[in-house]
Amino acid sequence: MSQRSPFPSHLRRRDRPSRGRAALSWAAWVGGAAVLLYMLILGDAGLVRVRSHAAQVAALQAGIDDLREAQAELDERTVLLNTRASFILERVARERYGLARPGERIVHVVGSPAEPGAKAP
């Protein structure tokens, strides 16, 4: 006696999928793999873009290093001007240009300079 299924024929489970269904399943897997491969290589976060960004990061880092070296050099010059050269600059500003610091008064003495050895009045 053969057993009859209580389900209609279109709902019965088949032992093997049909050839068309297997081909469709295989095509879906290949298509999905192709999309995934495309996204990994050429997508927004793909390998090509990551390498491009890595090159840009390296170039920008080199620029930052150059700017830091220039800043260190300028800092050295600033320290130099604030220490030794500031006295020279102040003397030139006072003598040649008649400049003064805030709150100071400039007094110009008119007349001939005192003779050496002469006593002050």
- 3-class state of residue 14 by DSSP: coil
Judge whether 120 lies within some domain: no
Distance CA 68, CA 116 (A): 56
CA 97-99-101 angle, to 5 degrees, is: 160
In a domain, 27, yes or no: yes
Kindly state whether residue 89 falls inside one of the protein's structural domains: yes
Residue 106 lies in a domain: no
Q: Quick check: is 111 in a domain?
A: no
Place of tokens 């290093």: 65
pLDDT tens track for 42-83: 777 777 778 888 889 999 999 999 999 999 999 988 887 777
Count the domains in the chain: 1
**Domain membership of residue 53 as a residue range:** 19-97
Count how many residues are written for the chain: 121
Q: How far apart are CA 41 and CA 51, in angstroms?
A: 10
Indicate the pLDDT class of residue 113, thresholds 50, 70 and 90: low
Q: How confident is the model over 81-107, as pLDDT tens digits? A: 777 767 777 888 888 888 888 898 888
74 in a structural domain:
yes
DSSP SS3 for 93: helix
Query: Rounded to two decimals, what is the model's pTM?
Result: 0.38
54, part of any domain: yes
14 vs 9: CA distance, rounded Å: 10
